[in-house]
Amino acid sequence: MHYKGNRDREKFWETFITLRENPSIQELKKYPNHKISNLFDHSSRVALCAYDISRRLHVDIDGTSLAKGAMLHDYYLYKAWRNETIGTKEHWFGHPGTALKNAEKEFQLSDLEKNIIISHMWPLNFFHFPRSREAVLVCLADKICAFGEGVLKRNYVRMQRNRKQP
């Protein structure tokens, strides 16, 4: 017996795999993220984390929109950590809007997907709040993954320092 949740989970995987193979999404590998990763890997982790949370909490999702919004949430297409024209504060507050504009040029987006992208930095971007379960899941998954990547970075730096010491 299939119910809506199972069909939408199948749509998540179908959309996720299709997007990961898309040449425009593959371009995300060129852009560093959190100094230890790249936007392709980060966005993939966010999508999988959001999906996993929905599954564990038995949350009904629009699988297509969850995958699309998660994979495009950081589609800002610039090197955030080495960009002299955009400071850290401007990046934090501005990249969701830039990601949305870039995504709209390349992909057809529903209102749900647009909200997932623009609201993923909530509550930092207080006026762009998540309006759906999918947007809340991506917002939460982004925080979890960013924290994890920060821990990985610290551990990587510590490991490199220990190797250099006699």
Domain count of the fold of the chain: 1
- Sequence length of the chain is 166
Do the Cβ atoms of 66 and 115 come closer than 8 Å? no
**Hey, which of 28-32, 40-44, 93-97 has the most confident mean pLDDT?**
40-44
Domain containing residue 92: CATH number: 1.10.3210
Query: How sure is the predictor about 27, in pLDDT bands with cuts at 50, 70 and 90?
Result: very high
pLDDT digits (tens, 9 = 90+) for 92-115: 545 788 889 999 999 999 999 999
Q: Report the C-alpha gap between 162 and 166 in whole angstroms.
A: 8
Domain limits for position 13: 4-164
Q: Report the C-alpha gap between 132 and 117 in whole angstroms.
A: 12
Using a pLDDT cut of 90, give the percent of the chain over it: 51
Residue 32 bridge partners (DSSP):
38
Q: What is the mean pLDDT of residues 22-37?
A: 85
